Amino acid sequence: MNRKTIIVGFDMETDIGSWTLNDQGIKKGTVEILKVLRIHDIPATFLFTGREAQNNPRMVKTILDKGHEIGCHTMYHETMGTAVFDMPGANFVLESEIKGRLELATKTVAGAAGVRPVSFRAPRLFGSTAMINALEELGYRVDSSFPCYFYHRDFTPYHPSRRDWSKNGKSTILELPVFFDMDAGQDDPTHRNRDQWPMLRLKGAKWFGNLCQRMFANVHNARGDSVLCLYLHPWEFIEMPKSVITDEAKISFQPFLYKNCGDSCLASLDEFICHMKHSNVQFTTMKDYATN
């Protein structure tokens, strides 16, 4: 019998990606997320940037106390590899600097959590071979950064090559590719319309649940089991502004960044988990999936 598993991952970062620095999503949104997870008694993985872990140590400990996993999401939400869409100010880290930056992020998250993270995701899924190799050297067990919607790949878990992270190889890290809508059209040249995020928030629990059920049939591991790895953000679970004013500019956001944030997104998460559990889908963390 095909076993279906979902890993719910939250990228614990600044609000709306890198556009604000007050961490309202982490401070307020996480509390609401934890309530939903407790009601359904499921575990999740919370991947913190080092800065946000350092600035919110009580929230890190609260998440751990509730039985969830703490992972790493770089130090400052910086870019570790190839950009798959245009992102001004993406703060690219030079390849020669990647290991040092990841080591700093790992130590910072570990300092706040009291336990060393073994799961990782790159901001915006901008990963690279150098990043994977550095993670392996630092003792990570699992990564979920590979953007299948961009590379037109299936999302079967695999161990990457140390020469090309997009290919099978002998790395000790398990890559959990981020699944996407394989049935979506290709009218968007960046293919972001095929990405899973932020479809739970924009299209609702029923649509997203149906997407997961369809995509389960497209990927199986050696045992014939299927796993889908989700990525969400705590700021999606509180109201987000349509624009912000900085010292140098007014930034107006695209609607997909703020639409249905807050109670609507929280209700969608609750309904989605309920629907999946009724369909006999199991939930686990990135770490537990990689080690079991």
CATH code of the domain containing 67: 3.20.20.370
What pLDDT sits at residue 36?
98
Domain extent at residue 263: 4-291
Note the pLDDT of residue 246. Answer: 83
- Total domains in the chain come to 1
> How many whole angstroms separate alpha carbon 21 and alpha carbon 156?
35
Bridge partners, residue 245, by sequence: 250
| Preceding omega of 198 cis (within 30 degrees of 0) | yes
Segment 79-99, tens digit of pLDDT: 888 887 877 666 789 999 999
The average confidence (pLDDT) of the chain is: 92
**Residue 22 CA, distance from chain mean position:** 20
What is the tens place of the pLDDT at every residue in 206-217?
999 999 999 998
Check whether 45 has a pLDDT greater than 60.
yes
How far apart are the C-alpha atoms of 120 and 7, rounded to whole Å? 13
Could you tell me the pTM of the whole model?
A: 0.95
DSSP H helical ranges for the chain:
24, 30-40, 50-55, 57-65, 98-113, 129-137, 148-151, 199-216, 255-258, 263-278, 286-291
